Structure 1
Amino acid sequence: MTSVVFMGTPDFSVPILRMIHEEGYEILAVVTQPDRPVGRKKVLTPPPVKAEALHLGLPVIQPEKLRNSEELQEILALNPDIVITAAFGQILPKALLEAPRYGCINVHASLLPKYRGGAPIHQAIIDGEEKTGVTIMYMAEKLDAGDIITQREIAIEGEDNTGTMFEKLSAVGRELLKDTLPLIIEGKNDRIPQDEERVTFAHNISREQERINWSNSARKVFNHVRGLTPWPTAYTTFQGENVKLWSVVEGETSTNETPGQVVKINQDSFEIATGDGKTIVVLELQPAGKKRMTAQDYLRGTGSKLAIGDQFE
């Protein structure tokens, strides 16, 4: 029986871990990030992968940093045949990369060499890509730079956001890994070096990137909002306070008004001018200090406050 150390953290990784368990591989340990405070009350919360591992009765290791740690020595001592990572969140040290006989492999949510880094799904949607996929790759000391083993492509539909694509790509990753692992174990897999001239990066989303630039085209604003939904969420400011936008569509109204200006108020939505003379229709939003709500509820609650000519920054 092939022995595995699995490393992952968010919901994306959970179906992949579950598949490895269901296929009968011997999971020696599950390595994930430490529990973190979550929400306004800062409740200490385990990562989704830890919760799944405990449900499956698997031992869990949670290093703050893997390099030069006691936890690294603990993992090396397990002597796994293969290490499998999926959105773990740390680069593996050389000692671990060289230890397993079948190597260390990663389930990465892009068609490498495009979108190396921690936010490939967000960035693909923000950039308006029409397709993405999953790459199973050998891990290297350089970020997401290892040889490609297998890839599988899927479409990004117009109604998709980061949340829906996380679910779709997690399912793709699960099935692709299921098909790829036997090839690796039998020594029948491909090993294709990445084309360094085609490399692009998708670094973790910064707070500055979350802010909407109304001077962009309506299509760019639309992609920006859905690329950051449901997390970390795109925002704008109105009357000095932040407003998160949860759901928008491109409008059919033409306008010469200043980007960010409210140009139309409908019964269940309102429209904001963008940089290409088109509008963004706001369907769902979250004013500062309030819950997520429909634009219709927002307009009912603020009625006299929001008017044509008001400016979002």
Structure 2
Amino acid sequence: MTMEKEKLRLIFMGTPKISAFVFESMIEAGYHFVGLIAQPDRPVGRHGELEKVPTKLVAEKYDIPVFQPLKIRKEYEFVKDLKPDLIITLAYGQIVPQGLLDIPQYGCLNLHGSLLPKYRGAAPIQYALINNEKETGMTLMEMIDKMDAGRMYAKKVVEIAPEDNSTSLFKKMGLTARDLILESLPQYIDGELVGEAQDEGLVTFAPTIKVEQEKLDLSLDAKKIFGWIRALSDKPGAYFLLDGEKLKVYKAELVNIPFKGQIGEIIEADKGGLVVQLNEGQLSLLELQREGKKRMDYRSFLNGNQKIFGKILE
């Protein structure tokens, strides 16, 4: 390498669990971090107590300085004092300004959770599930002052299994991001990786999922609703309305029986399953949670909801 990894002065920018996993993996691999930049801690629970973001816990474990600016576009002068050679970003959560990108001599690299140029934006892993993709992947890319639009240096494909949901796919993607950065960073520093421009004609977007999108849209077909259930499981959970209350669905499977009910109608509710009629097919609901109740499988759910047959979900 042009510079030994122990001598490289790195900054990590990232916030959630997937970022924390990759951050710690790089530390354990011998990389030297002079700082972590993460989103501010968020209030949680009824009492609104501040909970440290996952990457901050890692930084504190290894005595790495932590910076949590409210708006990085307005607060980044401190980065110059850290004298970074390179910045690595994964799910930071804010657009990084050009002034910051210009500071490190080796630039700024981003690990993005899709096979770019597909799914630029904040929720690429979820949108791969929403659209029932068979594969996705991680892209190591150049950061520029435009969302996920920089040159691509390396990619790794991740297969999506039919049973994958957001929780399981995030785990796969974390492992892939770790492998990609540890394999590619030495080559990048040595100038061996050539950046490939993205084809703007193939760009698609994966914007932040809004709270109102957690309610399942009955105008969609069964396959699309199945994708939304997978994308929002285990957190926050997609839901229908049953008798005016939320009915969260964490796991379902597509079934195809002759059309025999109106859209949203529970057409089977017995030991064989809990089946709802949708556009272009049906879904068998396997794991559910009524508002104020525990999450349970459909058999346990039916024990306490025996009069559900024929009801209409909204």
Alignment TM class, shorter chain as reference:
over 0.9
8 Å CA contact retained: 1:110, 1:133: yes
SS in 1 for 2:283: strand
Partners of 2:264 and 2:277 within 8 A in 1: yes
Q: 1:32 aligns with which of 25, 34, 38?
A: 38
Q: Match for 2:266: what amino acid?
A: V
Deviations 1:129-151 (A, max 9, x none): 11100000010100000110101
Of 102, 107, 110 in structure 2, the residue corresponding to residue 106 of structure 1 is 110
Preserved contact between residue 108 and residue 135 of structure 1 (Cα < 8 Å): yes
Give the Cα separation in 2 of the matches to 1:78 and 1:268: 62
1:146 to 132, 147, 150: 150
SS of alignment partner, residue 77 of structure 2: helix
Shift of 1:96: 0.8
Q: What is the deviation of 1:108?
A: 0.5
Counterparts of residues 71-150 of structure 1 (less than 5 Å): 72-150=76-154
Following the alignment from structure 2 to structure 1, what is the Cα–Cα distance between the partners of residues 58 and 257?
48
Q: Which residue of 1 aligns with 2:29?
A: 23
The aligned counterpart of 1:156 is 160
Identity %: 38
1:295 matched to 2:298? The reply is yes
Q: Does 1:281 align with 2:287?
A: no
C-alpha displacement at 1:303, in angstroms? Answer: 2.1
Q: CA RMSD in A?
A: 1.3
SS of the aligned residue for 1:175 comes to helix
Question: Bigger shift: 59-68 or 285-294?
Answer: 285-294
TM-score by length of 2: 0.95
Structure 2 residue 230 is the aligned partner of structure 1 residue 226 = yes
For residues 148-297 of structure 1, what are the structure 2 equivalents within 5 Å? Answer: 148-267=152-271, 269-276=273-280, 278-297=281-300
Instruction: Determine helix, strand or coil for the equivalent of 1:14.
Output: helix
Shift of 1:251: 2.2
Give yes or no for contact 1:254–1:279 (8 Å, CA) kept in 2: no
Residue of structure 2 equivalent to 1:312: 313
Aligned counterparts of 1:247 and 1:41: Cα–Cα separation in 2: 31
Cα distance, 1:217 vs. partner?
Answer: 2.6
Counterpart amino acid of residue 161 in structure 1:
N
Kept in 1, the 8 Å contact 2:270–2:302? The answer is no
CA distance in 2, matches of 1:25, 1:281: 48
Structure 1: which 5+ residue stretches go unaligned?
none
Give the residue type in structure 2 aligned to 1:68: K
| 8 Å contact kept, 2:260–2:267 | no
Query: Deviation at 1:242?
Result: 1.5
State the shift of 1:41 in Å: 4.1
Secondary structure of 1:141's aligned partner: coil
Secondary structure of the 2:33 match is strand
Alpha-carbon distance in structure 2 between the residues aligned to 1:148 and 1:178: 16
Distance 2:18 2:34 in 1: 21
Contact 1:268–1:283 (8 Å) recurs in 2: no
SS of 1:149 mapped into structure 2 = strand
Could you tell me how far 1:206 is from its partner in structure 2? 1.2
Task: Give the secondary structure class of the aligned counterpart of 1:7.
Answer: strand
**Which residue identity is paired with 1:90?**
Q
Alpha-carbon distance in 1 for matches of 2:184, 2:161:
26
